């Protein structure tokens, strides 16, 4: 049996907090897309992304520093990602989210969902 570490517990909590954002049904055309946001050189690339409802975003940390993608209004938080780690979140409804890296507040991004 595997023991959960404190980090695992935090990630699980972050995932559970993001459940309201998780798509419960597929998009009408049945083709949800996963978009990649790379975290490198203390920046999100792309910093501003437009997606469709039901699509997912995978944040991939390629920096040696730990980073997060944290919504400014608390709607989602990836938790801190170490180099080589990634997390995927699915966004169900239309809206706009502004997010930042918790330890590096100048790292910012936006997600626009139609």
> How confident is the model over 30-64, as pLDDT tens digits?
689 999 999 999 999 999 999 999 999 999 999 99
Higher per-residue confidence, 14 vs 94:
94
Residue 97 counted as domain residue: yes
Q: What is the CATH number of the domain that holds 49?
A: 2.60.40.420
Whole domain around residue 79: which residue ranges?
31-113
- The mean pLDDT of 90-99, rounded to a whole number, is 96
pTM here is 0.74
User: How far is Cα 15 from Cα 35, in angstroms, rounded to an integer?
Assistant: 18
Residue 89 has pLDDT above 70, yes or no: yes
Write the DSSP assignment of 18-48 as a string of letters: TGGGS-SS--TTS---EEEEEEETTEEESSE
Distance between CA atoms of residues 98 and 112, nearest Å: 9
Residue 4 covered by a domain = no
Which pLDDT score is estimated for 53? 96
Residue 65 lies in a domain: yes
Q: Which residues contact 74 (CB under 8 A, 6 or more apart)?
A: none
Which residues contribute to the annotated binding site? 67, 101, 104, 107
Give residue 29's pLDDT.
55
Binding site residues for Cu cation, as ranges? 67, 101, 104, 107
Task: Count structural domains, the chain.
Answer: 1
């Amino acid at each position: 049996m595997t023991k959960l570490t404190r980090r695992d517990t935090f990630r699980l909590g972050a995932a559970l907090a993001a459940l309201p954002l998780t798509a419960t049904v597929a998009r009408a055309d049945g083709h949800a897309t996963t978009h990649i946001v790379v975290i490198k050189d203390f920046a999100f690339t792309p910093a501003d992304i437009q997606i469709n409802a039901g699509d997912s975003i995978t944040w991939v940390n390629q920096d040696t520093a730990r980073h997060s993608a944290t919504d400014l209004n608390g709607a989602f938080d990836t938790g801190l990602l170490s180099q080589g780690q990634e997390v995927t979140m699915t966004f169900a409804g239309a809206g706009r989210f502004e997010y930042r890296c918790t330890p590096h507040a100048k790292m910012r991004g936006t997600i626009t969902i139609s």
